[in-house]
Amino acid sequence: MSLRTRLLILVIAAMLVPASLVGLRFVQNRSSEINAALANLVASADDIASDLGEKIQGTAQLHYGLARARDLDTSDKAACSAFLSDVREEYPQFTGILTINPDGSLFCDSLRTNRRLDLNDRAYFKQAKVSQGAVAVEPVFGRLTGLSVLQIAYPVRSDAGALKFILLASFNLNKFAEFHDRRLLAEKEILFLDSKGTVLVAPTRGGWSDPIGASIAGSDLFRFAAAPDGEPSRELTDRDGRAQVWAVARAPSIRKAGLYILVGRSKDGLVAAANRRLYEDLAILTVASLLLLAGVWILATVSVGRQVGRLAAMAKRLGLGDLSARIPPPHPGGELGGLMMLLNGTAESLEQQRAAISDLSHKLSQSQKMEAMGQLTGGVAHDFNNLLTVILGNSEHLADRLADNKELQRIADDIATAAERGSDLTRSLLAFARKQPLRPREIDIAEQVVGMEQLLRRSLGEHIECGFAFGADLWRASVDAGQLATALLNLVLNARDAMPEGGKLTVEVRNISLGPSDLDVNGEPRPGDYVMVAVTDTGCGMADDVVSRAFEPFFTTKEVGKGTGLGLSMVYGFAQQSGGLVQLQSEPKQGSVVRLFFPRIVAAQDEASAPAEPIAVPDGRETILVVEDDDMVRAYVENELRTLGYRVITTSNGPAALEVLQKPGDVHLLFTDVVMPGGMFGPELARQATALRPGLKVLFTSGYSQNPVKMPDGVDARILTKPFKRQDLAAMLRSTLSAPPR
């Protein structure tokens, strides 16, 4: 299918909606015109009835004037008839004017017929006899003329109220109908009926078949006319099957007189003008549409075809991989020109992307190389830390033993200094490899939070109100300050994402004592004294099923690419590794609160800062089980522990340590490396060891950990980072052994 054909189809499709709307508008206009024609038909009937009402009122006024004429108050019948004849000449709308004696006999009339008539049977005579000054009206056929007339009778009474005679005027309905028939320009048919269905005035055209004087009392037309509160117009079918629309006057005074005035029109004539207008409008729309289609065809042939050919050639070259292809100027105006420029820009962008992909490929290769280097440096750092532990420890021994030989003591100090520099180097390598072990220290958590205030406020944005609350006399806790900052930032960013329209966030730090009924997110009680850090937001909150999985790794409710699902998992692991716990409370549309609890440190701050001074060998008497796979490190640690006064049992792996614990004898502390060969790492050894001996204290040591150390549930453990000095080892041992059980 060619482009021109497609374009024409598109234009036709685009024209369907407006054309349909225009066509619907034309149909609505036709319907409006038909309704207007119906309203005009009803108005014509009402107008005729209104005019007849005025004629009745005028006749009543004429009667009122004649009743006071002396020429009628006479017994001279000839003179009376002559007078009425003169009056009738002035009022040709009447077929006759006459007077009726109270006994119902005709006295005089304008036609001078000298006939004798008894009018007692006429309804208008009966009504006029009892009337007090009002006219009586009745449509009948005149006995003197045989014409259909509207008899208008008026009682003339003496001053005493006695009936003198009845004055009667016969209003000619035929002439009245002819007048209005001419006024309606022969477009409508006029029909007068009396209350019995007798035709008083019949239409002169339109195929009307019932003559004057015939009765149509049983027809649908008469039932429609006689209905007291029916619709003003109705469509009816005559005997010959022709559809006619009739309107009836609903004037109460005319209907009360027993006269029905109808105006009719054939349905074809009624809708002819509206149909003609509809056909004209549709013809105009059709011509306009054809002209538009012809113009589009010419435009597609002359203007679009050649330019589309240029676009097709460009697309073909791009399909063959030639990203240097361009559509040369001049470019036409409008959308085609814009499309050419867009296609040129796309080709240029693709060319740049090809270069960028090549660059990204190089960078990816470099990134993979750096990752491999990170793995390598992590392993190297592990071995270096073991070596540096031995070097640093033995250099301290040498410095103590060679105190009398200044030259050798200086050499021992240089060795220790070099070992410390090596330790700094390995820490840098681990930082580069992102595998630095946790380094807890005694800190004031509130002080750390205050130091992060500006960072947190900037992270939240101006649309979120941020507040801080700190309790009095806050306890100190042993926490990795860097990991605390990371955890707090994770919680704040999660809260920010839960409040896209703004809200309020509160960071609270205070002391708290948990009892057996206070549970962590795993439903376990962890009674004790803690420093609590709570992050509360007014965001969207979480449903129960989301709360139950919030701390699962990689679980997230955010869109793909918006979150890894590790933020809360890291917070949970950090709190657990720090010996604390986590609580989460959240409801949909009610916000969330995450509480971190870090164990209280009972020791005074000035005691914790003592490492700067030489420490004396403590009076250690406890038994320590050392598990270390490196022979030199194990030998060094054993020597240091014995120097510090402890009883020492050494093993090289986890299974051997478990065999020792299964035997009788006191073991107060398990001092184990984290990463060991043989399939059993330090945390698993600690879990099984504390299961064998509840209450056993655990101290981990590590120079490198592929993953952060995950403390087993129920294990009271701390970690000492390699390499370590003698005073660091001594202080950590005493701190671990002196810590109350949890």
pLDDT of residue 256: 87
Q: How confident is the model at residue 271 (pLDDT cuts 50, 70, 90)?
A: confident
Q: Report residue 578 as tokens.
A: 């720090």
Q: Is 461 left (phi over 0), alpha (psi -120 to 50) or beta?
A: left
Average pLDDT over residues 285-289: 82
Q: How far apart are CA 303 and CA 305, in angstroms?
A: 6
Q: How far apart are CA 720 and CA 673, in angstroms?
A: 9
- Beta strand residue intervals within 48-93, DSSP E: none
Residues 6+ apart with CB under 8 A from 376: none
Q: List, for residues 342-399, the tens digit of each pLDDT value.
A: 888 888 888 888 887 876 665 465 445 445 544 555 566 667 777 777 787 777 777 7
Pairing state between β 503-514 and 464-470: parallel
Tell me the residue length of the chain.
742
Q: List, for residues 182-232, the tens digit of each pLDDT value.
A: 887 657 888 999 989 999 998 877 678 888 989 988 888 888 888 887 788
CB 56 within 8 A of CB 93: no
Q: List, for residues 542-589, the tens digit of each pLDDT value.
A: 988 888 888 776 677 777 666 666 677 778 877 887 889 999 999 998
H or E stretch covering 89: helix 77-90
**C-alpha 452 chain-centroid distance:** 38
Peptide bond into 330 cis (omega under 30): yes
- Between the alpha carbon of residue 293 and those of residues 4, 10, 12, 16, 395, the distances in Å are 11, 11, 8, 13, 99
CB 110 within 8 A of CB 62: no
Q: How confident is the model at residue 615 (pLDDT cuts 50, 70, 90)?
A: very low
Q: List, for residues 296-308, the tens digit of each pLDDT value.
A: 777 766 666 677 7
Q: List, for residues 61-116, the tens digit of each pLDDT value.
A: 998 988 888 888 888 888 899 999 999 999 999 999 999 999 999 999 888 888 88
pLDDT of residue 432: 37
- Between the alpha carbon of residue 266 and those of residues 44, 258, 262, 688, the distances in Å are 15, 26, 13, 108
- Between the alpha carbon of residue 648 and those of residues 165, 623, 640, 665, 724, the distances in Å are 154, 6, 10, 12, 18
Q: List, for residues 663-707, the tens digit of each pLDDT value.
A: 998 999 999 988 887 778 888 899 999 999 988 999 998 876 544
Q: Report residue 250 as tokens.
A: 């609903």
Q: List, for residues 242-258, the tens digit of each pLDDT value.
A: 888 889 998 888 888 88
Q: Is 579 left (phi over 0), alpha (psi -120 to 50) or beta?
A: left
Q: Report residue 21 as tokens.
A: 């709307």
